[in-house]
Amino acid sequence: MKSGPGTVSVIGLGYVGLCTAAAFASRGFKTVGIDIDVKRIEQIQHGRAPLYEPRLDGMLKRAVRKKLLVPTSDISQAASTHSIFLTVGTPSRNDGSIDLTYIETAAEELGRALRQKQSYSLVIVKSTVIPGTTNKTVKPILAKSSSKTIGVDLGLCSNPEFLKEGTAIVDALHPDKIIIGSDDKKSASKLKQLYTRFYGKNLPPIILTSPETAELVKYASNAFLATKVSFINTIANIAQAIPGVDVNHVAEAIGRDPRIGPLFLKAGPGYGGSCFHKDLQALINFSGELGYSPILLKATEETNEQQAEKVVELVEKLTGPLEKKRIAVLGLAFKKGTDDVREAASLRVVRLLLKKGARILAYDPLAVPNARKSLGESVEFAKDERSALNAADCCVVMTEWNQFRELQTKDYLGLMRAPNLVDARRLYDPKEYGAMNFAAVGLGPTRNDF
């Protein structure tokens, strides 16, 4: 492959990397997708996505068939491309601080792969990394292992990613902005050219800034969204104690104020997913190193952790002591449209229910294999939602899958041992569930409170 500007590598084919690679290949860019996980690469070589994301399977199949996407575990192939994205994971260490091991290893191996390359290439840090990482960690590692001068022979940018699991492909094809952080004009301009080529006349607004600012934008974005969720859950918990109040109406009303906005104001069991908790912990930890204690962010996390207890309290209100009670859990993915259970509220709720002696029968249309890895044999998994409800003493709806919306009172009443339903996602209209013992997050007191 000739490493012209229409050639791209993506190192780390998880949710972000695989969707990024598929998006580039779908627009005719010759794309090399690199991962150390050989099994994952084999699957992708067969045109199969190792994770669920709408549209991804079809895009991969086409891209691999047309040879526009070359999946490989050989990082030296990155040298045959012009722009190289780093999209490896940046997990938390035990103390919540960011673990940069994958970024460091990938940068080191990439540098070695580029050592003999004569022409210019551009390295783009797309993984979420704490401010200073591109300059203080990636840059010296790359410079040493490649023997190149960064900014001259080898470009370097920070370019955080904002795609959401479940709509990752649409987000990658239509982002609301692009953030480019760079210390040298050539790198920034090369990345801008790449995106101009990719988006054509639909190029989103580009914000050019320093690498450190770009890195902080990503954390600020996730911290703000997580805080919005914990805020509305706080209001929900207050609403819970006031007869006649429904937090959904409060959210709808305040969301009409353009200073507040309607999104991320849905009360529920707390946020999950691979990013919010990890990124808040990394930011809290990083702030601590700077000598600042961000109490707002700590409260956001604490509120989120406690929200699982609020859901379990609702279950207990309906069923009484949980010892030996059979609880159906509908939904395990951290949100609909994904098979991802990382940091899912469902896992926190299930663990609390188990601790209190409940027996769990859980179902999710996509996430059972991943949930099984986390929960093991401690819970039983049902083959569909109706089997999960069979002889249950209570059902908790934990993920907002559309198919759960279709369950009606008669389905619940016909299958369950006791008609107890906890709507942790506010999926149902409470008026339609009057024949049941119904409780929902942020929906005034339950009958059993009186």
Ligand X SMILES: NC(=O)c1ccc[n+]([C@@H]2O[C@H](COP(=O)([O-])OP(=O)(O)OC[C@H]3O[C@@H](n4cnc5c(N)ncnc54)[C@H](O)[C@@H]3O)[C@@H](O)[C@H]2O)c1
Among all residues, which ones are annotated catalytic? 275
Select the residue interacting with ligand X from 49, 63, 68, 106 (CB under 6 A): 106
274 binds ligand X (CB under 6 A): yes
Query: Does 90 contact ligand X by CB under 6 A?
Result: yes
Nearest Cα to Cα of residue 63 among 21, 11, 111, 17 = 21
Residue closer to ligand X (CB basis): 13 or 63: 13
Please give the residues from 30 up to 89 whose contact with ligand X meets the rule CB under 6 A.
34-37, 40, 87-89
CA pair distance 251, 193, nearest whole angstrom: 42
Angle (deg, nearest 10), helices 38-45 and 56-65: 80
Smallest distance from ligand X to CB 87, Å = 5
Contact between 281 and ligand X by CB under 6 A: the answer reads no
Of 128, 227, 237, 304, the residue at the interface with ligand X (CB under 6 A) is 128
Q: Does residue 131 bind ligand X (CB under 6 A)?
A: no
Output phi, psi for 195, to 5 deg: -70, -30
- Regarding 15 and contact with ligand X (CB under 6 A), the answer is yes
Closest approach, Cβ 81 to ligand X, in A, equals: 14
23 near ligand X (CB under 6 A) = no
Choose the binding region for ligand X from 102-110, 187-195, 244-252, 432-440 (rule: CB under 6 A): 102-110
Q: Which residues contact 313 (CB under 8 A, 6 or more apart)?
A: none
Name the residue with tokens 């150390």: 36
Q: Choose between 35 and 339: whose C-beta lies nearer to ligand X.
A: 35
Q: Out of 45, 77, 92, 105, name the contact with ligand X by CB under 6 A.
A: 105
Q: How far is the CB of 6 from ligand X (least distance, A)?
A: 22
Residue 165 makes contact with ligand X by CB under 6 A: yes
Strand partners, 208: 180
Stretch that binds ligand X, among 98-106, 179-187, 188-196, 229-237 (CB under 6 A): 98-106
Q: Does residue 12 bind ligand X (CB under 6 A)?
A: yes
Q: Which chain residues interact with ligand X by CB under 6 A?
A: 11-17, 34-37, 40, 87-90, 102, 105-106, 109, 127-128, 161, 163, 165, 274-275
